[in-house]
A and B are shown apart, each in its own frame.
Chain A
Amino acid sequence: MPTHYYLVLSFVLFLIGTGGVLMRRNALIVLMGIELQLNGGNLAMLAFSRALGDEKGHVFAFLIIALAAAEAAVGLAILVGLFRGRQTVNLDEATLMKR
């Protein structure tokens, strides 16, 4: 399969993820969007790695997977904190940065 198939798929994944991050109001969904973005990135890494016969892409993919897990943990913790504090996970109601 040509490389750009993978790339297109990764781009689509990334776009879907970005859309989720930007448009959804539920913080949980936003986190999921971020995961999608990361996986889109991962896919591109792997595709290039395969096309160029270079192992570095794999290494980065693993790194990103670990990072995604950490990010999910921290993000969910923040989310729980937010929910405790405000009884909501709706991002429109969390505008502390505004002042």
Chain B
Amino acid sequence: MGVLGWITLLPLFGAGLVMLVPREEESIHRGLGLATSIATFLVSLLLLVNFDSAQPGFQMEINKTWIEPLGIHFHLGVDGISLWLVLLTTFLVPVTLLSPQAIGIRNIRVREFTVAMLVLETGMIGAFLALDMFVFYVFWELMLIPMYFIIGIWGGDRRLYAAIKFVIYTLVGSLLMLVAILYLYVQFKAATGSFSFDYAELSHLTLPYVPQLLCFGAFALAFAIKVPIFPLHTWLPDAHVEAPTGGSVILAGVLLKFGTYGFLRFALPMFPLAAAACAPLIVLLSVVGIIYGALMAYVQDDAKKLVAYSSVSHLGFVVLGIMSMTAPGVQGALYQMLAHGISTGGLFLGVGLLYDRRHTRRLADFGGLWAKTPIFAACFLVIVLASVGLPGLCGFIGEFMVLIGTFTADKVWREVGMHNFFPAPKLVGGIAASAVILAAMYLLTMYQKTFFGPLDKPENRDPHVRDLHGREKWVFGIVIAAALFMGLFPQTFLSRSDKSVEAFLTGYRDRLHDAQKDPEAPTHVFPALAAKTAPAPTPAGGTP
């Protein structure tokens, strides 16, 4: 079993161990869970050591036959795109388990919670690494179940509603994706005579336009729900509000990334023609989502809901960056995924701490807390600023690169025919950029309502409202250190994903060109509309 196998299965072993410990020994459960996740993190650092950043393809692959007659292989591999996402996962889980607030204020069933988190970790890591569509789907669904329990058991008052909504939303997408996977499987059999779920082999399958569109639709829907792209986002605020802190952190920090990761890994490379045809729609929705999420966040009174809507806005940037199809854009999108994991994870940890102290999340109930909890206030401020996108902290880099990628997307967008819809990528970039204003508006408003102003509410003066102590200091210290490091040394990350992103872009473009050589291939979802709007003469030469 290679490094990848260890990383994937270690949390599962840990979960088994935790289950063996009697129910009463809560501190052992916590310790064991934390130790497992830290061990996983340490092992995952081996990835970094062994990773060859000059190589664009998959590395450290393991490929074992699993179900021979069906052509299913336990095939894992890592490239520059999944490398950092795996590390984000193995980083966030121990941070979450370290936080005393992870379970929320209904501090029950520690053992089961720890087990759920560890199983979840296995699911997430496996799904990031899987190179066999069947294995991917198994891990994809494996994530769903622990998260369902985490929301449904340890959540707030409306936890059942939220948990069911989360599961059903996700299932709608993923079942359609399963259908598409099976369709590919059957098509592959028809084309080659052998069964295979292998990602590389299935992605070499060239489908005619209409099936491609349908398959892309199925994949894209599954991923779009996960991202979530407007208007498929309404599960997110509910899930976040009801989930315990640990659930929210992992949900926002890692789970949402599967949507965008799925676009990068599967939906775009496998169905280039359909992706190009749907690109205008996706770009439109992502820009709408950026502004919409920000506006919605601005009017929330519930801190968690506010952060949840801010995720909609931030993830919009990721989708936009991917669809910009430029190197800075895609790299920026990848970076924004990581940065969002850190900053929003931190925000949820902060809100969880507030809830722990005050048993409320309504902004109107806070005020003047700086005087009571200065260290926490300072830590939270740094995290808020990271989320606002202050240069020097993690949030800025991704946004900056995505926007610069979008601005310089002229050439690529002409190739994929998006110019018929968006004559100027600058316009799209400009609209998206206005989110920097809105982000400051909603996050600073939240911060001010919480920490500034007079300490006039008696509940806030309660001695129970303590500043950070013990492990909490570590949790926030780690998050802030990560945010700072990511803001100052992004090249550490970008240089390792550089080649893979380049390969993704050239691969996509080459396949698109091949497909477009076919005179039958329409390049638009709505060919009639495209015919009406003649290709606009391009204003500039783009980047030299």
Do A and B have CB atoms closer than 8 angstroms in the complex? no
A-contacting residues of B (Cβ < 8 Å)?
Answer: none
B-contacting residues of A (Cβ < 8 Å)?
Answer: none
